[in-house]
Structures are given as C-alpha cells and as structure tokens.
Amino acid sequence: MHVTSPVRTPLVTGGKTYADVTEDICKQVEGKPTKEWKIAFAISVVVLLYGTCCLFWTWWEGLGVWGLNKTVGWAWDITNFVWWVGIGHAGTLISAILLLFRQKWRTSINRAAEAMTIFAVICAASFILMHMGRPWMAHWALPLPNTFGSLWVNFNSPLVWDVFAISTYFSVSCLFWYVGLVPDLATIRDRAQNKVSKFIYGTLAMGWNGSAKTWARYEYISLILAGLSTPLVLSVHTIVSMDFATSVIPGWHTTIFPPYFVAGAIFSGFAMVQNLMLIARVVYKLEDYITFEHIEMMNKIITLTGSIVGVAYLTEFFIAWYSGVEYESYAFINRATGPYWWAYWAMMTCNVISPQLFWSRSLRRSVKWTFFISVVVNIGMWFERFVIIVTSLHRDYIPSSWAMFSPTMFDIGDYIFSFGLFGTLFLLFSKYLPVINMAEVKGVIRTTSEKLPAKISGVSKADRLASPAYKKDAE
Amino acid sequence: MTDANKKFLVGVYDDDDVALAAVNKIKSAGVKIYEVYSPFAIHGMDIAIGHPRTRIGIAAFCFGLTGFLCAITLTTWTMGIDWPMVIGGKDPLSFPNFVPVMFELTVLFTAFGMTITFFLSNGLGPTVKPLLFDPRCTDNKFVMAIDLSKNKMSEAEIANLVKASGAEEVSVKQV
C-alpha cells in the first residue's frame, strides 16, 4: 500500500472515482466525432494531400526540385528529420525514464506523449525516405546479402547505426505503447454497445481480463521495457548527432554533440507534448487529469533541458576558439555574425532566453504562456538544426564556392507534408483510442485524492466518510 | 481454463485496499483463492494470493543475450570475414564501431522477445475470449474468484467468509 505525503497536491483533481475515470476517458472514444474534430481532421487531410502532391513531385522529378546547390547539399530535409526525431523523444522519456524515477505524474500524459513519439518518428522516417530520392531502394540500408547490391552495409558508418537506432526505437516505442494500451482496450471492449466495436477492441485487447498474475507480469515487463528504453532514448539522438559529429566539417566535428542533441531532443519533445496536451485537455475536458501541476512539471523539464542546451551553445563557441583551429573558429563566428546571423539569433532567443521565463511560477502555471513558449521553443529547435547544418556548409574552404540556401516550394511542401501526416495520425489516435492511460491513472488517484482534505482533493467530508476506504482507515 | 464446468464463488469488491485485505483474511482462514481481477495493478496482490514470482526477467535476459550474440555475428562476419574492407585506414574488425549496432539489436531482441513471452505466458492473443467473472473488473470493481472444487470448506461457509471480508456481492458462477 502506498504512503503519500499529505502536503503533495493531488495528481487528479475533482475527487474522481474509478468509475469516473473510465467514464471520462471512454466518452470521447465511444461518442460520435464532434464538429471540432471533424473540422480539424478535414484540415489535416487537406494539408496531407497538398504535401503528398509535393512529395510525389519530389520523387517523380528527383531531388533537383529542392533548393540544394553544390555547396549546401544537405538542408531542410535533414533539418526536418532531426527536428522530428527530437520531438519523438519526449514520449518514451516520459514513460520510461519517469517510470524508473517513480514520477507518478507521468500517468496522465504518457499515453498521448507516446503516441506523439510514434507519429513524430514516422514523420522523421518519411524525410529519410524523401532524401534517399529513390525510396524504392530503401532496403539497401538494411544488412542484406551481397546479391542485392555489391557489398554489405558499412557497420562503421553512423548512417547505418541510425538505421538500427531509429528502427529499434520506433518498434520498441510501438510495443511499449501497445502493451500499455491493452488493459484500456479491454475496458472499452467490456463497455462496447455495438458488435463492430466489441469485435475490434476485443481483438486488440487480446482477451485481457486483469487477473493478478497478468498484472504482476505486466508490471514486471513495464519495468524491464522502461529499463531498456531509457538507454535507447539516449542512444537514438546520440547516434543522430554522430551523423554530424563523426564528419570532419568544421561546426559538425564536435564531441559535445551527443549530450547536447539529447538535451535538445527532450527540450523540443516536451514543448510539443505541452502543445498537444493543452489542446487535448480543453477539447476533451481533461482539466482534472492534466492539471496545472502536470503543466508545471513539464515546464520545469523544459527549463532544465533548455538551460543545458544554452550551456552547450556557449561551450561549443568557447571550444571553437580554444581549439586554435582557425576554420573551426570561423565556422562559429560566421554563424553568429555571418549572413545567417538571423537564424543563429532566432535560435539563441527561442531556446536559451524564452525557457528562462519559466523561473516565474505564475508563468509556468499559465496555460497561455506555456502554449506560447512551447511553440517558440519548437521554432527555436528547428532553427538550431538549420543553423548547425546550413551555416556549417554554406561557406566552405574555397571562398569562390560560398553560397546561400533558399528553399523552393518543394522544400516547404515536403515539410508541410509531415505536418499533415502528424496531424492526421494524432487526430485518429485521439478519437479512437483512450488519450489517457486509465489503468495507470486509477492506480494513482487513491493515494492522491480521497485521503486528502476536501479543500485540496475536492471531495466533501460526507463523501469521504461514506467511502469504504475511510471505513477501513477508521478501523 | 482447461476443464470446463467448474464452480466458482465470485466476490465483488469496491475498493482495492479492501480487496487486498480480504485476500489475506480469506487465505488465513485456509481457503485457496483462484484469482483476483482488477482494473489496475495492485501491488502485492499476486504475492498475497500465493502466485509464484514471475520468471519473465530470466526470459528477458536470454533474449537480450541472443540479440547481442546475433549482432556480434552479423557485424564481425560481414565486415571482417565475408568481405573485409579497410575503411578510414582502420582494421576491418574495428570493434568499437560495432557497439551501437550491438546495443540496438540487444534492446530489439529483448523487447520483442519479452513482449511475445508476456502475451503467450498469460494466454493472451487476438482471438482469445476473455475469462470474465464480472465485466466490471475492467472498470471499477475488484473481483475475487474461488474455485469451489479445490476447497474443502462448504460453499456457504466460504460465501460467509467472503461477505464478512467486505465483498459487496457474492455469487456462484459455472465456467
């Protein structure tokens, strides 16, 4: 049995009972799609269709439709890829690392955050396929026998490590998410009114009945999956950063990249979770489940990781000077004062300064500010990748080949594609699957609401006296 | 459930702490409990009922080891034996470069192996019909099932015991 300090504010407010949790979360799965949902879904699908046309043309014509040139041969495609992979870090961080640290507040947000992770990784993967140019050759990245090509894949290459890291991360995240969904799917199955949904949710629920033996094993594998996912999350962005760090380009050849990229990934991932959860909490009336406490906790993580990122930017700058390598120093001076100064300072403002506003308690508990800063953070994180990639390339060793990068409508259209894809997938998820992990929330409400005074828990004294839990305590 | 037509005494509880206390009470009276079904994990419930400790961790280790050995074989055989190549002036068997792939495959094998083991050992699968003594056990109730054929006490005695332990409803079900 749990012991919770009475000074802790409850994780779920409104004095919810177990039945209330089921009702509140299942309501949106069982009901007909609302008008707002239909409008949002229609917009996402239109955006996706526009993006698909751009993507089709990119593949049909070839990568020449992008604004790349001889000097800047890697720009928006890889920027978008790193940006989406970074966003895809929060979900597994919340469900794995916070599980290991026994942070119970994760229970209200882990489901949606994991879904976000999966969809963000799908978007990231779409950029890998895009910039292959010939996606029908994608299997060449796999270690297949020589008859498919001339050689084996090169296991010394970070790009091959990336294939392993991202595919492992994607599939393990899907597993983690699905295992967590099974008990909730069983709840929906047992409430289903019509045959079709009973069949679909019943099949997905795999015959779950919540026996103590199953739960014991479930807890155990959750712990092991969390233990595995923790280093996995860290490895994914580490390996993504090695795509750059193992090269010899000044500005990329930096040993600080792995921790700096991981911190940046968590930073942008949490910002995206904030954006999605703040909308979901209003649309699905989940204010009692995603409380100000949750928002504040996430903002604290945003401030922490934002500060780590800030320190990394400064360290990078210092080391470029300290190294005594003039090319390295120039790459950084050029970043801050060269023709791309605006991108650099946009990154600095959005990522280093804006999260520091959360030192103020009233700002980090404000929905509007949180939403605004989260958007700013994600813009900043996009610029971070753009700065690292484009400014390091655009002025190389021969001044006559110096160039600028300007995106074409297909660079932009392919980026828009990923938003359409993400929006469509997330809306489908939020309509047809429970956005909050009911089983885990039920496991934490008792410790945090019923036993507290009414002014904190929201449960009146009479209700508390009538509850069997109180009677047991009285004994 | 292998043999059909077993008689079960089913007690429905409203609270997880009450259910856990009831399990201890009923067990100390000498009644064998078949299983308790709950909408969320109750810590210590499996131990209270007397289920053996799960050995799924051992399976996890075995799967991880398999993945690790597969990765070593894959990388060293392709890079060092089947088609040795000197890349960046390094030895074809540049072991540290293979660490990321070894790590990823270890995790991949463990996660998949363990999840499959989890579903198989619990008898869960897409076509499985759940054994539900009371469908509310996935919503807000805690359901205790006692196999009457496995217990020496009479049905009435056990029913009284279950009721006294705080059960809201007590019934007998044939499965």
**In this predicted structure, what is the pLDDT of residue B91?**
86
Task: Please tell me the distance from the alpha carbon of residue A185 to that of residue A181, in angstroms, as a whole number.
Answer: 6
When pLDDT is averaged across residues A206-223 and rounded to a whole number, the result is: 91
**In this predicted structure, what is the pLDDT of residue A3?**
54
pLDDT band at residue A463, thresholds of 50, 70 and 90? low
Q: Domain of residue A307: give its range.
A: 18-32+68-143+152-405+433-463
**In this predicted structure, what is the pLDDT of residue A469?**
47
Percent of chain A with pLDDT over 70: 91
pTM over 0.95: no
Identify the helix (H) or strand (E) that includes residue B146. strand B142-147
pLDDT, averaged across chain A: 87
ipTM of the complex: 0.92
When pLDDT is averaged across residues A211-216 and rounded to a whole number, the result is: 91
3-state helix, strand, coil in chain A (%, to 5): 75, 0, 25
**In this predicted structure, what is the pLDDT of residue A446?**
67
pLDDT at A304 over 90: yes
Q: Which residues contact B173 (CB under 8 A, 6 or more apart)?
A: B7, B8, B10, B133, B145
Q: Hey, which residues 30-49 in chain B have their CB within 8 Å of chain A?
A: 35-46, 49
What are the pLDDT digits (tens) for A137-163? 888 888 887 666 567 888 888 999 999
- Cβ burial of A426 (10 Å; 0-12, 13-18, 19+) is buried
Residues of B in Cβ contact (< 8 Å) with A199: none
Total count of domains within chain A: 1
**In this predicted structure, what is the pLDDT of residue A38?**
93
CA A402, A406, A412, A415: dihedral to nearest 10 degrees?
A: 20
Task: Assign B171 to helix, strand or coil.
Answer: strand
Residues of A in Cβ contact (< 8 Å) with B132: 190, 209
Partner B contacted by A141 (CB < 8 A): no
Q: Which residues contact A124 (CB under 8 A, 6 or more apart)?
A: A80, A81, A82, A84, A85, A88, A166
When pLDDT is averaged across residues B95-103 and rounded to a whole number, the result is: 92
The answer to whether position A412 is within a domain reads no
Is the alpha carbon torsion for A119, A125, A130, A136 positive or negative? Answer: negative
Is the alpha carbon torsion for B83, B88, B92, B97 positive or negative? Answer: negative
What domains, with CATH codes, occur in chain B? 7-53+132-174 (3.30.70), 56-121 (no CATH)
Contact across the interface for A472 and B127, Cβ inside 8 Å:
no
**In this predicted structure, what is the pLDDT of residue A473?**
43
- Cβ burial of A89 (10 Å; 0-12, 13-18, 19+) is buried
Residues of A in Cβ contact (< 8 Å) with B97: 155-156
CB B129 within 8 A of CB A207: yes
Q: Which of A168, A179, A209 sits opposite B108 (nearest CB)?
A: A168
What are the pLDDT digits (tens) for A228-265? 889 999 999 999 999 999 988 998 988 899 999 999 99
**In this predicted structure, what is the pLDDT of residue A127?**
93
**In this predicted structure, what is the pLDDT of residue A456?**
42
- Name residue A338's amino acid: G
**In this predicted structure, what is the pLDDT of residue B70?**
95
Q: Hey, which residues 112-141 in chain B have their CB within 8 Å of chain A?
A: 112, 114-115, 118-119, 121-132, 135-140
Contact across the interface for B115 and A183, Cβ inside 8 Å:
no
Q: Pairing mode, if any, of strands B142-147 and B169-174?
A: unpaired
Residues of B in Cβ contact (< 8 Å) with A191: 139
Q: How close A207 gets to chain B, by Cα (Å)?
A: 4
Q: Hey, which residues 218-277 in chain A have their CB within 8 Å of chain B?
A: 218-221, 224-225, 228-229, 231-232, 235, 239
Contact across the interface for A155 and B78, Cβ inside 8 Å:
yes
- Distance, C-alpha A313 to centroid of its chain: 22
pLDDT band at residue B89, thresholds of 50, 70 and 90? confident
What are the start-end ranges of the E strands in B35-141?
35-37
**In this predicted structure, what is the pLDDT of residue A116?**
93
**In this predicted structure, what is the pLDDT of residue A17?**
84
**In this predicted structure, what is the pLDDT of residue A432?**
92
The answer to whether position A307 is within a domain reads yes
The answer to whether position A395 is within a domain reads yes
> Tell me, what CATH number does A282's domain have?
1.20.1630.10
**In this predicted structure, what is the pLDDT of residue A2?**
52
When pLDDT is averaged across residues B119-135 and rounded to a whole number, the result is: 88
Residues of B in Cβ contact (< 8 Å) with A152: 78-79, 82-83
Residue entry with tokens 């045959």: A195
Which tokens sit at B16?
A: 């997880």
When pLDDT is averaged across residues A9-28 and rounded to a whole number, the result is: 84
**In this predicted structure, what is the pLDDT of residue A139?**
85
The answer to whether position A422 is within a domain reads no
Contact across the interface for A207 and B123, Cβ inside 8 Å:
yes
CB A418 within 8 A of CB A80: yes
Partner A contacted by B74 (CB < 8 A): yes
Residue entry with tokens 């780590």: A308
Contact across the interface for A156 and B16, Cβ inside 8 Å:
no
**In this predicted structure, what is the pLDDT of residue A447?**
52
Contact across the interface for B46 and A215, Cβ inside 8 Å:
yes
CB A359 within 8 A of CB A37: no
The answer to whether position A331 is within a domain reads yes
The answer to whether position A291 is within a domain reads yes
pLDDT band at residue A382, thresholds of 50, 70 and 90? very high
Neighbour order of strands in the sheet with B35-37: B35-37, B142-147, B7-13, B169-174
Q: Which of A155, A187, A440 sits opposite B79 (nearest CB)?
A: A155
